[in-house]
Amino acid sequence: MATQAQIDRAWASVGRTLSPNLVPSSYASVPYDPTALKVLQITAYDPGSSVYRYHSAANSVPGVVSAFVRYGHTNKHCDLRQWDVEVDYDTIQLLYDTADVVHSHMNYFVLRNVLRQGTRGDLIQALTYHGSVDPQNPMGSIQVNEGGNDDRMDAVVFGARPYHHRFNVKHWLPIPMPVDDYQRLAVEEKVEGKAFRVAHSPTRRQIKGTIEFLRACDYLKMHFDINIEPVLIENMEHGAALRLKASCDAVFDSFWLGIQGSGLEGGAMGKPVIAGDPEAQKDLVKLGIPVPWTVANNESQLRVVLAKLAQDRKFYAAEADRVHQYVRKHHDYPVVGKKYADILTEAKRNGPPYRQ
């Protein structure tokens, strides 16, 4: 049986760094509080993903202390001894045994299998759905939520985007963004040149609209003599990707996914963000949130907005400010951290099973 001092030492020392190895951060971790809600966040994602930002946001507000460990395998058979080497197994087991909440950012089945190995009836469970919505197969893209309301996984189910409530997640927990850090990065990496540079992260090209984006840029160059440069950001460490994006003038996110993590980064940097998805726009309006991005739902609309952003500086400034204010209001670290703390504190107060 671990002593209270050992427990406090483990929670105070594990994973308190904000924005690991990406950019110097002006966001400070609050001092360790032994009475705070203890959240063990587990993931299979790589550094730089939104998962790391949830951990950082949690540690930027009082009321929650977050420890973070990365699981090295994404299969359905989870063994607590299979974690990566950044944290030793005894510490991980101690964190797991003393956590108030285990929050998984990976496959639902992995979390379920971990928790069913234990016997703790007081443990709050949480799952975040990060997946993208495939317009050709919307149900196939949310398999992570299968069984989300069974007898073990009924605590807290988060959606990482506001329009995920279409899939019966219980809360929107916005993807956290270190807005001040990213805005500073945009100033540092600003490129003075004649070309209007537009960043795009072409993961899953067919869904993101990459081919249409490249065609639209070529069309504007050929027929309107607009000096526009598409900048594809892929296959690089996240810190380098951030700096490349910061050097661009605007961000094209996607036609069919609304604004994703890449677009949120651009908005935090103070750049206009182009995105589509009429259903996502409707869902935002239902939530009382004006659509923050520059809307383009197809290639024809994309040509128009790219040309206007490149040629009309007043329009450019207004679109940049609109999405930046949205990201600052809903996605800044302290904002998300406070919302996170409130949701988990309420879950702990009610005790498992936690149902809305």
Across the chain, which has 356 residues, the per-10-residue mean pLDDT values are 90 68 76 92 71 86 88 49 62 87 70 57 75 48 41 62 65 89 94 93 83 97 96 88 95 89 95 92 86 95 98 98 97 94 87 57
Measured between alpha carbons, how far is 239 from 243 in angstroms, rounded to an integer? 6
Nearest in space to 38 (alpha carbons), one of 16, 18, 67, 15: 67
DSSP string of 126-174, one letter each residue: EEEE-----TT-TTGGGGGGTTTTSSSS-SEEEESSGGGGGGT-SEE-P
pLDDT of residue 223: 96
pLDDT of residue 35: 93
Q: Which two tokens stand for residue 347?
A: 């879950």
- Distant-in-sequence, close-in-space partners of 115: CB < 8 Å, separation ≥ 6: 102, 123, 125, 152, 153
pLDDT of residue 321: 98
Give me the amino acid identity at 217. C
pLDDT, tens digit (0-9, with 9 covering 90-100), for 37-76 = 999 888 776 666 677 788 889 989 999 999 887 765 544 4
Phi, psi angles (nearest 5°) of residue 160: -85, -10
pLDDT of residue 139: 43
Location of each CATH 3.40.50.2000 domain in the chain: 179-329
Measured between alpha carbons, how far is 297 from 314 in angstroms, rounded to an integer? 22
Measured between alpha carbons, how far is 284 from 104 in angstroms, rounded to an integer? 26
Domain 4-176+332-350 has CATH 3.40.50: yes
Q: Cβ atoms within 10 A of the Cβ of 313, count? A: 9
Residue 236 three-state SS? coil
Q: How far is CA 130 from CA 19, 24, 127, 151, 240, in A?
A: 19, 25, 9, 22, 22
Q: Report the largest interatomic distance among the alpha carbons of the chain, rounded to a whole angstrom.
A: 73
DSSP string of 58-74, one letter each residue: HTTSTTEEEEEEEBS--
Q: How far is CA 84 from CA 22, 43, 71, in A?
A: 20, 11, 6
pLDDT of residue 285: 86
Classified by CATH at the fold level, domain 179-329 comes out as: Rossmann fold (3.40.50)
